[in-house]
Structure formats: C-alpha cells, structure tokens
A and B are shown apart, each in its own frame.
Chain A
C-alpha cells in the first residue's frame, strides 16, 4: 500500500510531513519530558511512533495534510515548504488533541497521567497560526467557526439515540469540520478567501463520505459496543419483522451505504475537476476504487455467510 502513497504524494510532501511530525513530538518532549514519555506510550498504541507521519499520509487517512498542500499548488503552482510544514505541525498536534478527547468520549482506556498532554497539543495547534495572522485577520472568524462546529457536532453526536439522515449530515459527519482550518489559512495567507467556500464544501462532502466509510467498516464493533450510527439505526428502521439487523446489513445495508457514498464521491470528483486540482482528482479516484473493492468484498462475504441460513435444522440433534 505504501507504493500507492508514494505515487500520490511527492517526496517533498512526505519529507515535510516526516519533519513536521518529529518537530511536534520533539517540542512536546523538550517542554514536558515526563508527560511526553507517557503520551508516547498512548500514541504507540495507535501509530508507529518512529514514523508518526505515516498515520497521516496513509491512503485511507483523512487527507488533513494533503488538502492544504494541494490547495496551495492549485493556487500558486508551488508550495512554501516552511508554511506547509507549520500547517502540518499544527494539524498533527490538533489531531492528537482530538484523538485523545475522542478516546475519552468513546470510553477507551487513556492513562490519566497522559491527559494533561491536551494542553501542549492544543497550544501547538493554535499558536502556529499566530505567526501568520494577527488577531484582526479575517482568518480567525473561520478558525473559530470551524472549531466550534467540531465541538458542537462531537457533543451532540455523542448523545444521539436514533440517528437520522439529518443527524448524520449535521452532527456525525461534521465532527471533522475543524480540519478545514488549514484550508482557510492557505486562502487567507495568499489573499484568496474567495476560494475557501468551494474547498470547504468539498471537504464537507468528504467528511460525510469518510464518516460513512468508518460506519460501514466498523459496523460490527459499533453494534457490539451499542454505538449508534446512521447505518445501524437505518437497519433497525428498514429491516423486515422476521429479519435480524445483521441480515439487513448483509443483504441490503452494505449496498445501501455504497450507493449513498458513490453519489457523494461523484459530487467530489465533479468539484475537484472544477477546482482544477489534478492531485485531488487522482486521490479521490484512488479512494473510490479502494473502497469499492472493500465493499464488494464485504458484500461477497456476507453472501457466503448467508449459506449458513440455508443449513438444514436436521443437522442439529433433537
């Protein structure tokens, strides 16, 4: 799979991502060495701490670092490496902040001695932008709006008992809204705020696609954990009286989700074409193909398991 990423991301992108990840963790270590040691143990359970950038540059990851890079290329034909490195440093730190908070909200075990790492992670995320934008800059209202959208969506999503399409669109799929902050930074740094709406709109659709993908791939874990997702709630609503939730997922649910996701993907591909970002179009095509293979495999496997339903009850002693 790394080969695919190497084709998709050029070497300067991957090198900059590697350096930025090292800087984010080195800053944590130099300021708070004890805290950093404990936090790295938490991080090691989630990613390769020798190459933390791989977590962000994997094809299946949210393109948190790549979108601002592609936006700058679409805008200027090149990138300012120092600026992109700062954006990556900020985004990785912001991601760690969000991930730790998510782990807590999801009830996953996080050593309590790690929790104060939320302070330096947030500091590293936000202070980067002060180097580029004075408080009076038009960037800051976008920063605030995106961050508060994430906060509101994450809070409400965690309380939903019955997830409808509207809930999914307004809350579940908007938890990643803050990832549009570095896009705003690129637009405001180069005085092109007019470009932000189209990139942000594409990212909003990507957030839907990505959230649904997570819900599809993790459906059985969510089901076991009692987590409510649009897919699982739709299964409850749509299954026939004599059909279990699992049967509906296996027979219809994967296909239902795949069709919705394909519509969103087509919307994104059309938008990427208009935005004249070849790299973004290639990336989206790769994600489309990769997911299609995954979902086809899941549908095929579910159909094989459905043979179990045809087994003769006489196989069991009376």
Chain B
C-alpha cells in the first residue's frame, strides 16, 4: 500500500491517531512507518488547518459528535 493511502486510512478510522497527528505529527507519522519530511509536515499542517476551519464552523457540540472531524 502506498504511504499516503496508509496515512489516509489511519487518519480516517483511528481517532487516537488523529489526535496524535494534531499534537505531535512527527511521532504519529513515524508510528506508521512514514518519514516526517519537512514537505510532508507542511502538507499535514495545511490539512489540519482546513479541518480546524470545518470544526469552528460546526461549533463544538456538533464537531465533537461528528467524530471523524
């Protein structure tokens, strides 16, 4: 499986991994065998920012229930 397909699958289906990726992306990426290169960390940061915008738009009550967020 390609690296980023593995990352996508993990991000989508593992809430603990999602939380770890937000707090410590390098550690989270390494835990699934992905090298945290600077380009990749930048891309992850962009994705996290876009997700945060959706969360803010939904409001905390709804965002917490929509667990994929």
A: residues with CB less than 8 A from B are 1, 60, 217-221, 223-224, 244-247, 249-250, 290, 293-295, 297-298, 300-302, 304-311, 313, 315-317
Contacts and interface: CB of A to CB of B under 8 A. Distances in A.
Contact of A309 (B4, B14, B51): B4
Interface of B is mostly: helix
Contacts of A219: 13, 68
Contacts of A297: 54-55, 57-58, 62-63, 66, 69
B12 A246 contact: yes
Nearest to A59: B61
Interface in B32-69: 34-35, 37, 39-40, 43, 46-47, 50-51, 54-55, 57-58, 61-63, 65-69
A315 B9 contact: no
Contacts of B3: 313, 316
Given A223-B13, A304-B54, A316-B34, A60 B4 contact: no
A223 B11 CA distance: 13
Contacts of B37: 315-317
Contacts of B68: 219-220, 298, 301-302
Given A220-B14, A302-B68, A307 B54 contact: no
B22 interface: no
B66 A294 contact: yes
Which of B3, B12, B47 has the largest count of A CB atoms less than 10 A from its CB?
A: B12
A125 to B, nearest CB: 28
Nearest to A2: B61
A286 to B, nearest CB: 12
Query: Considering the complex of A and B, which 4 residue pairs feature the smallest CB-CB distances, nearest first?
Result: A246-B9, A294-B66, A246-B12, A220-B13
A316 to B, nearest CB: 5
A247 to B, nearest CB: 7
B44 to A, nearest CB: 8
Nearest to B63: A297
B51 A294 contact: no
Nearest to B13: A220
A249 B9 CA distance: 10
B40 A311 contact: yes
A35 to B, nearest CB: 33
